Amino acid sequence: MIPVQGYVGQTVAVLGLGRSGRATAAALIEGGAEVVVWDDSVPAREAAEADGLIIRDLTKQGAFEGISKLIVSPGIPHLYPNPNPVISAAWDATVPVDNDIGLFFQSFATDAWNSFDVAPRVVAVTGSNGKSTTSALIHHILIENGRPSQLAGNIGRGVLDIEPAHDGEVIVLELSSYQTDLARALTPDIAVFTNLSPDHLDRHAGLGGYFAAKRRLFAEGGPDRAIIGVDEVEGRYLANQLIEGAGDDRVIQISTGRKLTDGWAVSARKGFLSEMRKGRQVASIDLRNVPGLPGAHNHQNACAAYAVCRSLGLGPKGIEAAMHSYPGLPHRSQLVTEHNGVRYVNDSKATNVDSAAKALQAFTKIRWICGGLQKEGGLDTLLPHLQNVAKAYVIGREAEEFARQLSGAEAEVCGTMAVAVSRAAAEAQSGDVVLLAPAAASFDQYDSFEKRGEDFIACVQEATS
């Protein structure tokens, strides 16, 4: 646990009692703060009270009297589409609002670091797609090369739930736009921007607000080094905002769309990763046979992770060896099984059109399981990427409408995962890939994309047994 510094004897309120909220309350108490908590959910409040936390109804008049700060869990809207009433009340009472990410950066460094030979470092990864894989891959490469590391944030443990840093340790944080948008302190040593595609637009009042939330990690934090994906205009803009000229190696640009030659750059084309320094190639890795990183979208993740690890002093050969042993993450291009020459791949995390398009480009001869709670913008931008789809099997409550939009591809309305997997397995031939890449949220049928992926795996096991 990271004890929160700076609130000894002060009363701090915590709104939201999920994983991050409970960890935040514990870290505040460990640091000497008096903590009161609130959640709209009665069971969540009862569980917290049973564990000894003090419940205060923050919706009541005068609830913020004597409170120094309000800490908000990431899922709670603080601006768009409408601020949570408790947050509005904190504003009216002139109580500062923050989140656990802000507390982490405020509290991570301690006097114990004075005795370390190598100061701990923090790597923060944000972007629309690939954050989890990039973060996990960085962590894996570090561990495989004998560097102590912890993985936290939007993946793994909450940021305040990790252990205090050891000498030379690297903390790898995956940060969502919900987390970067509100944090009052953002000071990573290395910050990564993978890419940008439309997502969470209601929460950020459009694409501009969504990008602005991610840009805060760089504009507010001033990292020593920034790794920026430049395959979208927003990444090119961000890199240009940070760079002082062609020789400025504080910015490493990454791309899978074109070969980068100026400054310090890492790109991947046709399955080969290249590192360029001052116009000269200094290293190359063949990614085509790395089992845990299939497809161009994963090659972008590999570029980002490679750039981070090179920034931390690792050599290309050590990075390459670790990439080959990377097992991949559940629900992200996860190979479930191969049966009768047919591969079954779980990419349930492909919850938006862009991530699904990248999954479709990673394979050929695809039996595509898709559908769910559709996001804003429709499926038009997905249509150019259906050339590898032999047939789509559509699930979800809106399956008929989803299938209607897939012009140019044969689509069968299945409704449920069990029917979709059964039909795809029955029609698949050797060399085909049965791919779950929904291009939609899961909440019409499942509690989370993880539950959806687990159902896919169970259905595959039944169909192939």
Please give the full DSSP string across 392-432, using - where no structure is assigned: EEEESTTHHHHHHT-TTS-EEEEESHHHHHHHHHHH--TT-
Q: What is the mean pLDDT of residues 417-430?
A: 98
Tokens read off for 196: 């940008």
Integer Rg of the chain from CA: 23
Q: What is the mean pLDDT of residues 431-445?
A: 96
133 is in an annotated binding site: yes
**CA-wise closest residue to 113 among 150, 167, 159:** 167
Answer CATH for 334-464 from 3.40.50.2300, 3.20.20.70, 3.40.50.720, 3.90.190.20:
3.90.190.20
* 91 confidence band (pLDDT: 50, 70, 90): very high
* 327 confidence band (pLDDT: 50, 70, 90): confident
| Separation between Cα atoms, residue 332 and residue 132, nearest integer Å | 9
Indicate if the pLDDT at residue 274 is higher than 90.
Answer: yes
Indicate if the pLDDT at residue 378 is higher than 90.
Answer: no
Rounded mean pLDDT of the chain? 95
Answer CATH for 109-324 from 3.40.1190.10, 3.30.830.10, 3.40.50.720, 3.40.718.10:
3.40.1190.10
- What CATH number does the domain located at 11-98 have? 3.40.50.720
348 is in an annotated binding site: no
132 is in an annotated binding site: yes
Domain ranges, ordered by start, for the chain: 11-98, 109-324, 334-464
328 is in an annotated binding site: no
What digits encode the pLDDT tens for the residues 119-152?
999 999 999 989 999 999 999 999 999 999 999 9
What is the pLDDT at residue 375?
Answer: 84
Indicate if the pLDDT at residue 376 is higher than 80.
Answer: no
129 is in an annotated binding site: yes
Q: What is the mean pLDDT of residues 162-167?
A: 95
Kindly list the distances between the CA atom of residue 345 and the CA atoms of 88, 432, 433, 458, in Å, as whole numbers in the listed order: 44, 11, 7, 13
Q: Do domains 11-98 and 334-464 have the same CATH topology?
A: no
What is the pLDDT at residue 222?
Answer: 87
128 is in an annotated binding site: yes
| Separation between Cα atoms, residue 160 and residue 32, nearest integer Å | 15
pTM reported for the whole predicted model: 0.86
* 80 confidence band (pLDDT: 50, 70, 90): very high
Q: What is the mean pLDDT of residues 77-98?
A: 97
What is the pLDDT at residue 295?
Answer: 83
